[in-house]
Chains A and B, each alone.
Chain A
């Protein structure tokens, strides 16, 4: 038998330390969100006090609601546009301005957020658009559709092209071949793209700060202004709730994609 792995003690140690480094701070945050003490650093026993505090904080609740609406709508638009872009780039014929198009799609992935935010704000000001829900949604869509495009494009790239050819060989015209074969196969990537867009939008502080207007702060904007004033136990509770929400989204989405790819792994393979 072939030797499968060659794990040294060094490998294991660096892995363990790395994962601890990634997870401990979040774990500590979650634990302290259940701390009864007002002083963040003193353990005063388990309590849901700060969650109650959060649910009675109108401004926070409004910000959270705003963030959720922005995240859902921008992720949905971004998924649609990003998928179209990915299909055009990996399956489409060459067209005028294709290089510019792919450049525009890759650049926002690494562009400093301050620049993206500033430039979008200047556009909205020039268009005299009222800043609020829609401006933030459009700004987030612009950023996140690029991530969706990359995720879907890499799935399309790894797909055996002869599957589409087989569909055409068996009587599908190109559009039907795409709907009957390609779309179901890239569905998990589309779902993953939506999730990514959703969490990126929920997470964003900088672009939202630039593009939102007075009176419509998103959750990160509110958290940020609170955090600048110092640590508050309520923030721990909010952060824990956000983490829980994201965890639920991930679990649901991965279950959904498991189901759609059917009983596959669970049934006995030959």
Chain B
């Protein structure tokens, strides 16, 4: 028995309510997703079959089990639309994450080099946009990027372009939107590691004869890798499943997997295929998800 344990015995009971909640609203729903992904579409309510009816007796239940199949997954694997959607999601996520790192790193580095007092202010300034609505931020860019929007007006006024550029419904618009929305998620973990780094390390490196770019590559960057990892995961994972930004800003000729899932669900009312798409998406994200969970835990436990 240690002090922690004296405290820990009652504290343990605090887990009961949230535990039950998470099992009911997080774990159990996944069982449903899995089950329905193995079902068939039906014109009924709910729009799939078989429906497990526990009151129908053992025989009916067995028949329902037998009716489950992997057809939806076969469809996902064979239909080009889905394969392309997964590939596009990954490509967009990789590209956007790289852009975020490229843009976020200098900002985080600049923050970490501010005087202590200003660092806190800069941190608040980076977080505040995160508090304003996601949707509103995308909408703000639609305002700017539309045909006769501010960006085109400025470009025309400066005579940089002869006629309005089409921004909306292009990949550039989507990347702008993603970078804009996810930038705080990249900056904050980077800043956290960079701010903790001792300035003396960089000074020692230059004292030992390293020019500035080598100081960065040989000392600063390697030491900031934990932050880079956290930032990359924090951005990459949700971007793969992103729906709103590509839906509002990118063109409709190639879809990301989040959009496909949404379309199957809301427009085609094909719940089983949507569920199968969700399962595949989850499997694709499993490795980065587990990595992230590890990272989170370690960071929290280091605080003790």
Contacts and interface: CB of A to CB of B under 8 A. Distances in A.
Interface stretch (A46-54, A92-100, A183-191): A92-100
B278 A118 contact: yes
A154 B301 CA distance: 9
B29 A149 contact: no
A150 B8 contact: no
A50 B14 CA distance: 48
A128 B106 CA distance: 51
Given A21-B183, A112-B285, A227-B139, A84 B14 contact: yes
Given A95-B15, A227-B142, A115 B110 contact: no
B25 interface: yes
Interface residues of B, number: 100
B22 A104 contact: yes
Contacts of A145: 18, 21
A122 B33 contact: yes
Contacts of A149: 18
A14 interface: yes
A123 B25 contact: yes
A107 B141 contact: no
A85 interface: yes
Interface string B270-291: 0100110010011001000100
Contacts of A125: 46
A125 B265 CA distance: 14
Contacts of A195: 131
Interface in A74-116: 80-82, 84-85, 87-93, 95, 97-98, 101-115
Given A115-B241, A118-B278, A199-B131, A157 B300 contact: yes
Interface residues of A: mostly helix, strand, loop or mixed? helix
Interface of A: 3-8, 10-12, 14-15, 17-19, 21-23, 25-26, 28-29, 32, 39-41, 80-82, 84-85, 87-93, 95, 97-98, 101-115, 118-120, 122-123, 125-126, 138-139, 141-142, 145, 149-150, 153-154, 157-158, 161, 164-165, 168, 174-175, 177-178, 195, 199, 202-203, 205-206, 209-210, 220, 223-224, 227-228, 231, 235-236, 239, 242-243, 246, 250
Interface of B: 3-15, 17-19, 21-23, 25-30, 32-33, 36, 46, 103-104, 106-107, 109-111, 113-116, 122, 125-126, 128-129, 131-137, 139-144, 146, 148-150, 153, 180, 183-184, 187, 199, 202, 233-234, 237-238, 240-244, 248, 258, 261-262, 265-266, 271, 274-275, 278, 281-282, 285, 289, 292-293, 296-297, 300-301, 303-304
23 contacts: A14-B110, A15-B122, A23-B125, A23-B129, A25-B140, A26-B140, A85-B18, A85-B19, A103-B293, A104-B22, A107-B293, A111-B241, A111-B289, A122-B32, A139-B25, A142-B25, A154-B300, A154-B303, A157-B300, A205-B244, A206-B244, A224-B135, A243-B132
